[in-house]
Amino acid sequence: MVLAEDLAKQQRSISVAEFFEKNKHLLGFDSPTRGIITTIKEAVDNALDACEEAEVLPDIFVGVKKVDAEVYRITVEDNGPGIVPENVPLVFGKLLYGSRFHQIRQSRGQQGIGISAAVLYAQLTTGTPALVTSRTGSKARAHRFELMIRTETNEPEVVSHEEIDWDRMHGTRIEIQFKSSLAAKKRLVDYLRLTAIVNPHARITADIDGEVTTFERVSSEVPPCPKSILPHPHGIEFGALKRIAAASTGTVEEFLVGSFSRVGKKTADEMIALAKLKPSRKVNKLESDELKRLLDAMQAVKVPAPPAQQCLSPIGEDLICRGLEKEIQLDFIKARTRPSTVHGGHSFIIEAAIGYGGRIPAEGNAQIFRFANRVPLLYQQGACAITNCVSQVNWKGYGLSQQGLPMGPALIMVHVASTNVPFTSESKDAVASIPEIEREVVLVLQELGRELKSYLSRRDKKKQQDDRARAICSIIPEIAAKVSEIVELPLVDTSPIEGKIMRKVVAKKRTNNGQVHIDVNNYTAREVTFVLYNLSRDAAADADPRPDFVDDIDGEYNKVWRCTLGAGAAWQVAYTGAGDGSLDLRGMEDGMKVVVDLDV
Amino acid sequence: MSREEMDALAKERLVGIARGWYDQMRDGIVPFIRLPTRTKQNIAYDDATEVWKYGDKESTRSAATEKSAVHLLKMAYVIWFLKKQLVENRSSTLRELYYISEGWKKAKFAAQDESNLLIEDLEIIAEVQREAFHLRPEEDGASIFGPLRIRETTRRGVREMHCQEDVGEAGYPIPNNVDSLDFIEHDAKFVIAIETGGMYARLMENGFDEEYGAVLVHLKGQPARSTRRVLRKLNDSLGLPVVVFTDGDPWSYRIYASVAYGSIKSAHMSELLATPQAQFIGVQPSDISDYNLPSDKLTEQDVNALKAELTDPRFATDYWRNQIHLQLDMKMKSEQQAFASRGLDFVTKEYLPTRLSEMGVI
Q: Pick from A467, A478, A486: which is nearest to B83 by CB?
A: A486
Distances (CA, A) of B115 to A150, A582, B24, B112, B137: 83, 35, 25, 5, 12
Q: For residues B73 and B68, what is the distance between their CA atoms, to the nearest angstrom? A: 9
Active-site residue identified among B54, B99, B253, B319 = B99
The answer to whether the Cβ–Cβ distance between B77 and A501 falls below 8 Å is: no
Q: Pick from B30, B65, B76: which is nearest to A483 by CB?
A: B76
Please tell me which residue of chain B has the smallest CA distance to A485: B80
pLDDT in tens, A385-411: 999 999 999 999 999 999 989 999 999
pLDDT at A371: 93
Provide CB contacts within 8 A for A49, sequence distance 6+. A100, A107, A108, A109
pLDDT at A89: 84
Judge whether B103 is closer than 8 Å to chain A, CB to CB: no
Which chain B positions have a beta carbon within 8 Å of A480's beta carbon?
Answer: 25
The answer to whether the Cβ–Cβ distance between A479 and B69 falls below 8 Å is: yes
Q: For residues A133 and A173, what is the distance between their CA atoms, to the nearest angstrom? A: 5
**3-state SS, residue B145:** strand
pLDDT at A112: 60
**3-state SS, residue A161:** strand
pLDDT in tens, B9-54: 999 999 999 999 999 998 888 999 998 888 777 878 888 888 888 8
DSSP state of B349: I
For residue A110, pLDDT over 80 is answered with: no
Please tell me which residue of chain A has the smallest CA distance to B69: A471
For residue A524, pLDDT over 70 is answered with: yes
Cα-Cα-Cα-Cα dihedral of A145, A150, A154, A155, to 10°?
-40
pLDDT at A287: 83
DSSP symbols for B198-256: HHHHHHHHTTHHHHHTEEEEE--SSPPHHHHHHHHHHHHHH---EEEE--BSHHHHHHH
From chain B residues 113-142, the ones with a CB under 8 A of any chain A CB are none
Q: Pick from B18, B27, B65: which is nearest to A486 by CB?
A: B18
Domains for chain B: give ranges and CATH numbers.
3-136 (1.10.10.10), 143-358 (3.40.1360.10)
Axis-axis angle for helices A435-470, A385-392 (nearest 10):
50
Distances (CA, A) of A237 to A101, A265, A277, A479: 16, 22, 19, 80
pLDDT at B228: 92
pLDDT at B222: 85
Confidence of residue A99 (pLDDT cuts 50, 70, 90): low
Question: What SS3 string covers A522-580?
Answer: ECCCCCEEEEEEEEECCCCCCCECCCCEEEEECCEEEEEEEEEECCCCEEEEEEECCCC
The answer to whether the Cβ–Cβ distance between A475 and B31 falls below 8 Å is: no
φ and ψ at residue B176, rounded to 5 degrees: -65, -40
pLDDT at A600: 67
The answer to whether the Cβ–Cβ distance between B73 and A478 falls below 8 Å is: yes
**Other Cβ atoms within 10 Å of B183 Cβ, number:** 18
Judge whether B87 is closer than 8 Å to chain A, CB to CB: no
For residue A332, pLDDT over 70 is answered with: yes
Which chain A positions have a beta carbon within 8 Å of B14's beta carbon?
Answer: 486
**Could you confirm whether B22 is annotated as catalytic?**
no
Q: Which amino acid is at A535?
A: L
Is the torsion defined by CA of B262, B267, B270, B272 positive or negative?
negative
Please tell me which residue of chain B has the smallest CA distance to A490: B22
pTM of the shown model: 0.62
Q: For residues A90 and A112, what is the distance between their CA atoms, to the nearest angstrom? A: 10
Q: Which helix (H) or strand (E) holds B49?
A: none
φ and ψ at residue B218, rounded to 5 degrees: -85, 120
**Other Cβ atoms within 10 Å of A213 Cβ, number:** 14
pLDDT in tens, B241-294: 999 999 999 999 999 998 998 877 788 888 888 999 999 998 999 999 999 999
Domains for chain A: give ranges and CATH numbers.
16-215 (3.30.565.10), 233-300 (1.10.8.50), 320-457 (3.30.230.10), 495-597 (2.60.40.2960)
pLDDT at B32: 93
Provide CB contacts within 8 A for B311, sequence distance 6+. none
Tell how strand B190-194 and strand B214-218 pair up: parallel
Judge whether B21 is closer than 8 Å to chain A, CB to CB: yes
pLDDT at B248: 95
Check if the interface score ipTM surpasses 0.85. Answer: no
Mutation choice for B interface testing from A465, A473, A483, A494 by most B CBs within 10 A: A483
Average pLDDT, chain A: 86
Which chain A positions have a beta carbon within 8 Å of B18's beta carbon?
Answer: 483, 486-487
Distances (CA, A) of A458 to A453, A461, A462, A585: 8, 5, 6, 21
Mutation choice for B interface testing from A479, A491, A510 by most B CBs within 10 A: A479
Mean pLDDT value of segment A289-309: 83
Q: Pick from B25, B77, B80: which is nearest to A480 by CB?
A: B25
pLDDT in tens, A532-552: 999 999 988 899 899 998 988
The answer to whether the Cβ–Cβ distance between B21 and A483 falls below 8 Å is: yes
The answer to whether the Cβ–Cβ distance between A468 and B80 falls below 8 Å is: no
Provide CB contacts within 8 A for B76, sequence distance 6+. A479, A482, A483, A486, B18, B21, B107
For residue A101, pLDDT over 80 is answered with: no
Residue ranges of chain B with per-residue pLDDT less than 50: none
Tell me the HSE value of A204 on the side-chain side, using a 13 A CA sphere: 30
pLDDT at B41: 73
Contact A597, A473 (CB under 8 A): no
Contact A275, A294 (CB under 8 A): yes
Tell how strand A505-512 and strand A515-522 pair up: antiparallel
